[in-house]
């Protein structure tokens, strides 16, 4: 499939980028997408939640009432979970929520997410550009020229560019990522994917059929 390359002013440069049909026409696998997004979200969790259980609380160990005959549930000391201010039963403990996912599944998930964007015609290719210094105003102008200023977009670069990253950091509707570090969540979370010309040319290399 050939994609038109636009200039930063929003005009057709006359150039085109070839993207393999195996990427554009890939059959999306929704379960692979679900697993990859689930892993990404799980990895974002700190897992530092903690509540005190009965043995961890400080307080008198004196038994407050008789074992039987009180008409209510049995309770021991003031730390009993039955009492207001008492301990919690089976409360949350610090834990690691991350889990393993095979590389081939993650690759299939990213490929599926990209395929959805291609099917929805939500992929744009712009010529390579850079800044001499962080220029948020210039980034806003580029997005406006591409009719993307009101859409949540993901700008995909071929390699890290600190000035481009800093220029977009304060803009709520644009995120910047490297083509080699794309993840399924970021692709799906954006309405439009904007590749620079050099990153679009790397797609075939990254998503070459797995052996």
Ranges 59-68, 90-99, 200-209: which has the least confidence: 200-209
Whether the pLDDT of residue 20 is over 80: the answer is yes
Whether the pLDDT of residue 76 is over 70: the answer is yes
Whether the pLDDT of residue 38 is over 90: the answer is yes
- Of residues 211, 25, 209, 6, the one with CA closest to residue 114: 25
Looking at the chain, the number of H-run helices and the number of E-run strands are: 8, 6
Count, residues in the chain: 211
- Of residues 113, 209, 197, 93, the one with CA closest to residue 155: 197
The predicted structure's pLDDT at residue 211: 47
Whether the pLDDT of residue 210 is over 70: the answer is no
Ranges 3-12, 28-37, 63-72: which has the least confidence: 63-72
Model pLDDT for residues 135-191, shown as the tens digit of each residue: 999 999 999 999 998 899 999 999 988 999 999 999 999 999 999 889 999 999 999
DSSP labels, 131-163: -SS--HHHHHHHHHHTT-TTS-EEEEESS--HH
**Cβ partners under 8 Å of residue 126, min gap 6:** 5, 6, 7, 8, 142, 146, 194, 195, 196, 197
The predicted structure's pLDDT at residue 152: 94
Domains of the chain: 2-45+97-206 (3.40.1370.10), 51-91 (no CATH)
């Amino acid at each position: 499939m050939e994609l038109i390359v636009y200039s930063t002013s929003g005009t057709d440069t006359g150039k085109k980028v070839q993207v393999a049909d195996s990427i554009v026409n890939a059959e999306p696998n929704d379960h692979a997408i679900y697993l990859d997004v689930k892993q990404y979200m799980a990895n974002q969790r700190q897992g530092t939640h903690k509540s005190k259980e009965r043995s961890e609380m400080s307080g008198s160990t004196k038994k407050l009432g008789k074992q039987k005959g009180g008409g209510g549930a049995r309770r021991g000391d003031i730390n009993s979970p039955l009492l207001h201010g008492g301990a919690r039963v089976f409360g949350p403990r610090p834990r690691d929520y991350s889990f393993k996912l095979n590389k081939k599944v993650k690759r299939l998930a990213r490929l599926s997410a990209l395929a959805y964007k291609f099917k929805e015609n939500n992929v744009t290719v712009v010529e390579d550009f850079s800044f001499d210094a962080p220029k948020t105003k210039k980034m806003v102008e580029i997005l406006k020229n591409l009719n993307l200023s009101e859409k949540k977009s993901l700008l995909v670069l071929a390699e890290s560019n600190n000035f481009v990253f800093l220029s977009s950091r304060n803009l709520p509707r644009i995120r910047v990522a490297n083509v080699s570090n794309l993840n399924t969540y970021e692709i799906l979370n954006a309405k439009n994917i904007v590749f620079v010309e050099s990153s679009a040319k790397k797609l075939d290399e990254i998503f070459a059929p797995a052996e």
